[in-house]
Every structure is written in structure tokens, then in C-alpha cells.
Amino acid sequence: MPSPALLKQLAKKHGTPLFVVDHDVLRRNFAEFRKGLPRVQPYYAVKANPDTAIVRTLFEAGASFDVASMPEFRIAYENIRKMPPKPRQHWIWDKIIYANPIKDNDTLRQLNPYKPLVTYDNLEEIRKVRKYAPHAGLMLRLNVPNTGSVVELSSKFGASAGEAVDLIAAAFKAGLVVEGVSFHVGSQCANFQNFVQALAIADGVMKEARSRGYAPVKILDIGGGFPAPYDRHVRPFGELAAVLNAEFDRLFPPDMEILAEPGRFLVATAATLVVEIIGKSRRDGKLCLFINDGVYGTLSGVLFDHCQYHLKAFRKGPTEICSVFGPTCDALDVVSVAEDLPTNLKLGDLLYSENVGAYTTASATHFNGMPLARIVALNR
């Protein structure tokens, strides 16, 4: 992260709340992912942080993109639209996958001219794609174990293994082409066996599909869930990479096209938030601090991402456990009830929070008319 001195300097220049993104960290995270999983092409999950500078840096580093809405598609497409088309008809597949299994009709109409690669997991979606985006290539989203992941997704998306090949057959019968299968083990996955079980399920589905004559099923999308190192309890990425590489070699031929959708892993550690203390009181003997950003703003991940962001002070001194509240008038705007911070903090003092790059500014709102944090890029 940037040094405390640099953070204070930037806050003095730009004001607070301030969201500082270090693009060198983005590049290092991307390089670590590629080195750890050399068979996998990373499709950055734009939903994790759609900041255009972040998207461009990752594109320049070699990333493709996972998008889940037309605004995200346009952010990603803006980076690739000047590339010369490749000889293959569906050159855009190399750079973008529309990985939201449920799409409205208007979105499909807009996607159709691009001949996109899109996910699906039910019969109704096949009918919609056939009618509104017949030029799309399909990826069947599978339901896989999400045990131990911070954010569970299997209850909302994914076809069961028992119905998977029938859904592949239904798509081909409708005149569409299923290019492969995908899955997601849940966000911030701490249970690496989720990946092992998911790969076994995908392997079984692909083998059955080929045995029934659906040979074009040749792309494997292993989704996201790669854990960001928020603290020392998170198992290293290298351990997961070793597990995945062993399973790739055991289950899939060398020419299998494998892609992944890392979001949090690439951006979480690349950003730091700087805030100002705007209020201070004691309630029932407990120190309470009010800051100019909160759960309706950059720290929205407290609500939407099941994440706890810890605050640090620039000022030194004896500490005590205190509560930290955001600036809105809503009682829900509680950043933390157990932060260990200096007792001698004053109004106007600055605090900072590390590892806030993922699912923070992405879900921030203007509730109560509060301004969003200014974004500053370092080493862009």
C-alpha cells in the first residue's frame, strides 16, 4: 500500500473521502494469477470494481473481461474495440464473456450484433437467446458446492448435473451452439475442495455431452472465488493454484480452453481508503467516532459483501475499543463496533483502511446526498 506519509499528502491535495488505487499492485496481482495458473486465461470480473482506469490497466496487462450488464459490457468493449478482428468468427470471445445467466430481452437484443459468449442455466433462457440473440454462443452454468465461501451463489444460479446435458441438447436442438460449461464456487472461497468437486462435476458433464454427440463443448470456465489475502487466516493463492493445476492435468486434455473470472483477487489489495473524523462522542462510556464515509458509500461491502474493513490511525497514542459510524442519519450506517484506535483522536484527524479495492466503490450510493469518494490512481 502507499506509505502513510503519501496518503496524508494525497488527502491534503484531494480532500476526503479518498480512494487511492495503486496500479502497480494490480499488475502484480495479475502476474501472480497468470504465473500460478498458466493454463488459465483470466477474465476480470468487472463488477468487483468497474473503474475505467482499473479496467484499462488490467487489459494492458493481458486480461479479458467477465461482465454481467450492458454498462459493464461497454466499459470492457471500449478497451478492445480498436483491436483488429481475429480470423476466427467470434474473436470477441477472447476478450469478453457475458456471465450473468439471466438476461432481459433488451440486453440480449443489444448483445446479439457482437456475437457474444453468454451463460445460461435453464430452458427459458434458451428460448430467449434463440429469439433475441441467435448469434450468441452459450456456456452452461453448473450448480456446484459453495460450502465455506463467504458469499454463496449456488442457491441462485446453476443447472444440476442431472439436467445439464439435457439443457445442452435443448440448446443445440434450438439451433444454438453450446461452447462449454461454467461454474462458480462462491465468493472468497476458503474451501478449496469446492473447486475439486466442481471440476469433477464439469468433467462428468463434458464427457457425457461428448458421448451424446455434442463435441463442440470445449471451453471450461472455472468462475471466481479466488480468495484475497485480507488477513493471515486466508490460505495462500499458491496452495489453491497447486490444487487446480493438478486437477487440470488429471481431468482435461492440454488443448482444453480454460478461463476464470477473478475479481476480488485482482483488485482487493490494490486500494486504500482515507477518511476524516467529523464527529466524536462517548455513549455509555464508549468512544464513538463519526467519519465522512460509511456503509452507504465506499464501505458498502460491510452490507453487500459480508466484509469487515478495519481502520488505522495516523496519530499515535494509547488505544481503546471504539465504535465507528458513517456520516448518514441512518442507524444502519455502522462501520464497526470494535475498532482499536487511539483515545486521543481529534476532529479533523485522518484514518485509513487497506484492502478496500473490491465491492466497495462498486456498490456505493448517494444516499442522504453524501458525496462519493474521489478516486486517485497511483503508478497508472
Residues tagged active-site: 329
- CA 280 remoteness from chain centre: 35
Q: Match 492440454 to its residue by C-alpha cell.
A: 254
Q: Match 489489495 to its residue by C-alpha cell.
A: 269
Q: Per the structure block, which three cell numbers stand in for 348?
A: 479533523
Instruction: Let me know: does 42 contact 63? Beta carbons within 8 Å.
Output: yes
d(CA 119, CA 116): 10
End-to-end CA distance of the chain: 14
Please confirm whether the linkage preceding 17 is cis (ω < 30° from 0): yes
Q: How do beta strands 271-283 and 286-291 pair? A: antiparallel
Query: Cα angle at 92 between 186 and 151, to 5 degrees?
Result: 10
**CB-based burial label for 108 (10 Å; 0-12, 13-18, 19+):** buried
Q: Match 444502519 to its residue by C-alpha cell.
A: 332
Q: How many CB atoms lie within 10 A of CB 211?
A: 10
- Locate all alpha helices (DSSP H) within the chain, ordered by sequence: 4-14, 23-36, 52-61, 70-80, 105-111, 123-132, 161-173, 193-211, 237-251, 264-267, 301-304
